[in-house]
Amino acid sequence: MAALGAFLPLAACLLMGAPALAKNDAPCQLSKWNNGFNTFLKRHVRAGIPSSLDQNEWESYIRNNGGCDRPTQSFLQQGDLDRVKAVCTSEGGAVYKENLCISRQPFTFVTVRSQPGTCGIRSVQRETKHLILACEELGNQCLPVHFEGNPVDARPNNNARGCQDSRTADAPSFRMTWLWLLLALLIIVYCYRH
């Protein structure tokens, strides 16, 4: 029984900390990651990206600016930043799934694939697709925090809600998970025996 008494506080702490690690279940909810938008910009909307598709230029760029550890990277033009941010609004994006929004209009961007663990470039490709972005609220503004791949060339559903319109419709709610049920059961057993 002493083990149960020691386990209960540990389980409670783990369960209280778990929501901070989870991603939002709808777009434009309060972000759990304050630096998400800045990280998104550093990874995808960088200054000075090569204008050509030359693999040597891209290898040099990535080697000098970071990103050798990421096997697939997509880069958007800085001039598209306002349009990219608009994907996280009702006008520019529609709810795709979970906290993801899909752009209403296609974007042109460059995808660079490299050898894992090296900066050796396998391919550089210009693509035109609808963007799929994770959108979260930071400083009272819904902003992109993650670039999700779109390998099947998905397009927005004409009947989907606008990205920011989901803020009130899909507000976070408490969900009873098996961990919460286990904790409740352990508390009941502990209290019953004492």
Query: For position 118, what pLDDT does the model report?
Result: 85
Q: Which of 181, 82, 72, 67 is nearest to 141 (CA)?
A: 82
State the pLDDT at residue 46: 92
Q: What is the mean pLDDT of each run of 10 residues along the chain (194 residues)?
A: 50 44 82 92 94 96 91 96 97 96 98 89 97 95 96 95 69 44 59 66
Q: How many Cα atoms are found within 13 Å in the side-chain-facing hemisphere of 156? A: 24
pLDDT at 125: 97
pLDDT value of residue 171? 44
pLDDT for residue 32: 87
Q: Is 0.95 surpassed by the pTM of this model?
A: no
Cα–Cα distance measured from residue 119 to residue 137, given in angstroms and rounded to the nearest whole number: 34
Residue 16 has a pLDDT of 43
The domain defined by 23-172 folds into P-30 Protein (3.10.130)
Q: Give the pLDDT score at 191.
A: 58
* Residues 190/15, Cβ–Cβ less than 8 Å: no
* Residues pairing with 39 in the sheet: none
pLDDT, position 42: 95
Which pLDDT score, from 0 to 100, does residue 40 have? 97
Query: What's the rounded Cα separation, in Å, for the pair 110 and 105?
Result: 17
